[in-house]
Chain A
Amino acid sequence: MIDLNLAIDRNPEGPAPQLELGHLDTLWLQVTGTVCNLACLHCFISCGPKNESHPFMELEEVRRAVETAAEMGVKEFYFTGGEPFMHPQIREMIALTLEHGPLSVLTNGVLIDEELAGWLAEVFRTSRYNFDVRVSLDGTTPEENDAIRGRHTFEKILSGAQRLHQAGLNPVFTVTTCHAELAESAGRQRFFDLLAERGITRPRLKFLAPFKIGREERRGGAYEDFERLREGMLDEEARQSLQCSSCRMVTAKGVYPCPILIEEEGARMGDTLEDAMGPIKLDHPACYTCFVEGVTCRT
Chain B
Amino acid sequence: MSDLRRFAVFGGVYNNFLSLEATLRDARALGCEAIFCLGDMGGFGPQPDRVFPLLRDVPDLYVMQGNYDHSIGNRLEDCACGYTDPRDNYYAQISYDYTLANTADAHKDWLRDLPTEFRHDWAGKRVLMAHGSPRQVNEFLWESMCPDAFLEHLLKSYEADVLFVTHTGIPWKRELEGGRQVINVGAIGRPANNGRTSVDYALVEVDDEGVRVAFREVAYDHEALAALMREEKLPEPFVETILTGWWTTCLEVMPARERALGVY
Interface residues of A (CB under 8 A from B): 23, 25, 70-76, 100-102, 124-125, 128-132, 168-170, 185, 188-189, 192, 202, 204-207
Q: Lowest 9 A-B CB distances belong to which pairs? A: A73-B153, A101-B147, A130-B144, A130-B257, A130-B255, A75-B150, A73-B149, A73-B150, A102-B145
**Complex contact A202–B257 (CB within 8 A):** no
B260 near A168 with CB under 8 A, answer yes
* Minimum C-beta distance from A168 to chain B (A): 7
B86 proximal to A (CB < 8 A): yes
Pick the most buried of A100, A130, A202: most chain B CB atoms within 10 A of its CB: A130
A204's partner among B86, B157, B252 (CB-CB below 8 A) is: B252
Are the C-beta atoms of A132 and B85 separated by less than 8 Å?
no
Q: A25-B150, A102-B255 are in contact. List 11 more A-B contacts (CB 8 A).
A: A70-B147, A72-B153, A73-B150, A73-B152, A74-B149, A75-B150, A101-B149, A129-B145, A130-B144, A132-B255, A207-B84
> Given the known A-B contacts A75-B150, A189-B86, A204-B252, are A131 and B145 also in contact in the complex, defined by CB atoms under 8 Å?
no
A71 to B150, CA, bound (A): 9
Q: Does B228 contact A (CB under 8 A)?
A: no
Q: Is the CB of A74 within 8 A of B147?
A: yes
Q: B256 in the interface, Cβ–Cβ < 8 Å?
A: yes
Say which size band chain B's interface belongs to.
Answer: 20 to 34
Contacts of B150 in A (CB 8 A): 25, 73-75, 101
Q: How far is the CA of A192 from the CA of B90 in the complex (A)?
A: 15
Contact B149 A130 (CB under 8 A): no
Select which of A25, A73, A192, A202 is within 8 A of B264 by beta carbon: A202
CA distance A74 to B86 in the complex (A): 32
14 contacts between A and B (CB under 8 A): A23-B153, A74-B147, A75-B145, A75-B147, A75-B150, A76-B145, A124-B256, A129-B147, A130-B255, A130-B258, A131-B257, A132-B255, A170-B256, A204-B256
Within 8 A of A (CB), among B129-168: 142, 144-147, 149-150, 152-154, 157
Interface string of B38-82 (1 = CB under 8 A from A): 000000000000000000000000000000000000000000000
Write the chain B residue with the least CB distance to A23. Answer: B153
B251 interface contact, C-beta 8 A: yes
Chain A residues, Cβ within 8 Å of B86: 185, 188-189, 192
A205 closest partner in B (C-beta): B84
Complex-state Cα separation, A233 to B86, whole angstroms: 31
Contact: A202 with B251, CB < 8 Å?
A: yes
With a 10 A CB-CB cut-off, give which of A101, A124, A185 has the most chain B CB atoms. A101
Q: A74-B147, A75-B146, A188-B86 are in contact. Are A124 and B257 (CB under 8 A)?
A: yes
Tell me the minimal C-beta distance from A96 to chain B in angstroms.
Answer: 14
Inter-chain CA distance A160–B144, complex, in Å, is 25
Q: Which residues of A contact B264 (CB under 8 A)?
A: 202
Chain B residue contacts of A100, Cβ below 8 A: 147, 149
Q: How far is the CA of A70 from the CA of B151 in the complex (A)?
A: 11
Decide yes or no whether B119 CB sits under 8 A from chain A: no
Given A192-B86, A207-B84; A130-B145 close (CB under 8 Å): yes
Residues of A within 8 A of B259 (CB): 170
Could you tell me the distance between the alpha carbons of A169 and B260 in the complex, rounded to whole angstroms?
9
Interface residues of B in 240-256 (CB under 8 A from A): 251-252, 255-256
Q: Give the chain B neighbours of A185 by CB distance below 8 A.
A: 86
* Closest chain B residue, CB of each to CB of A100: B147
Measured between beta carbons, the chain B residues less than 8 angstroms from A168 are: 260
B85 surroundings in chain A (CB, below 8 A)? 192, 204-205
Contact B256 A132 (CB under 8 A): yes
Q: How far is the CA of A102 from the CA of B86 in the complex (A)?
A: 27
State whether B84 touches A188 (Cβ < 8 A): yes
Residues of B within 8 A of A102 (CB): 144-145, 147, 255
Residue of A nearest to B89 (CB): A185
Give the docked Cα–Cα distance between A205 and B255 (Å).
Answer: 13
A188: B residues at CB distance < 8 A = 84, 86
Q: Which residues of B contact A189 (CB under 8 A)?
A: 86
Query: Least Cβ distance of A114 to chain B in Å?
Result: 20
A206 touches B84 (CB 8 A): yes
Interface residues of B in 190-211 (CB under 8 A from A): none
Residues on A with beta carbons closer than 8 Å to the beta carbon of B87: 192
Question: Could you say which residues of chain B place their CB within 8 Å of the CB of A202?
Answer: 251, 264
A81 to B251, CA, bound (A): 29
Across-interface contacts of B153 in A (CB, < 8 A): 23, 72-73
Q: How far is the CB of A177 from chain B (nearest CB, A)?
A: 12
Complex Cα spacing A261 to B46, Å = 49
Interface residues of B in 174-197 (CB under 8 A from A): none
Chain A hits for B154, CB < 8 A: 73
When chains A and B are docked, how far (Å) is the Cα of A74 from the Cα of B151?
9
**Bound Cα distance from A101 to B252, whole angstroms:** 20
| Chain A residue at minimum C-beta to C-beta distance from B155 | A73
Q: Which residues of B contact A71 (CB under 8 A)?
A: 149
Nearest CB in chain B to that of A24: its residue: B153
Docked pose: A168 CA to B259 CA in angstroms: 12
Kindly list chain A residues whose C-beta atoms are within 8 Å of the C-beta of B146.
75
